[in-house]
Amino acid sequence: MVNVMLPLRGAQAVFTMVELGLTSYVSNWWANYWRDEVPAEIILLLFASVFSLITTMYLSLAALNKLPAIAANRYALLAADGLTMTFWFAGFVALAVFLSSRVCFGNVCNIAKAAVAFGAFSWLLFAATTAWAGIYTYRARNPVTPKEVESEMAQS
């Protein structure tokens, strides 16, 4: 049976790297053009991107059964997914609201809007994996290894 979680984790990593590039560009432009502090909304998406790269590595290693059993607790995996999903939701909504209340034009505005779109897609990916992990955690009655978790989730 093919493990569907690994391709989802790969997609999460790709979207996260794209988001990191977009928000880094907007942040750099803002700091150099306006010579002012970068808005907190952009910083939140930058943080979500970096945090996602770390958690995606952790969750992928757990899926491949490369972590010690104590680090691959199903509740820890669910918490990592859920927290990352929450950061993405807060980040893309905050930036969308920020952009809607400003006069926005030019290349940097289009890139910021693309960052909102990629943030929304990242949130959807993490929402799907969080829901999947939540369903598994709810259904699981006995302790299992991460490899069994991922294979059982793939069969669901």
Check pLDDT > 90 for residue 126.
yes
What is the Cα Rg of the chain in Å?
17
Check pLDDT > 70 for residue 35.
yes
- Please tell me the pTM assigned to this model: 0.85
How confident is residue 1, by pLDDT bands cut at 50, 70 and 90? Answer: very low
For the chain, the 3-state helix, strand and coil shares in percent, each to the nearest 5, are 80, 0, 20
Yes or no: say if 46 and 27 are a contact pair by the CB < 8 Å rule.
yes
DSSP string, 129-147: HHHHHHHHHHH--S---HH
Instruction: Using alpha carbons, list the distances in angstroms from residue 105 to 54, 86, 102, 108, 115.
Output: 33, 29, 9, 8, 15
- Dihedral sign for Cα atoms in the order 97, 100, 103, 105: positive
Residue bearing the bigger pLDDT, 135 or 113: 113
Find, among 94, 92, 98, 84, the residue nearest to 129 by Cα. 84
| pLDDT, tens digit, 9 for 90 and up, residues 66-120 | 888 888 888 999 999 999 999 999 999 999 999 998 888 899 999 999 999 999 9
CB atoms within 10 A of CB 110: 11
Check pLDDT > 80 for residue 12.
yes
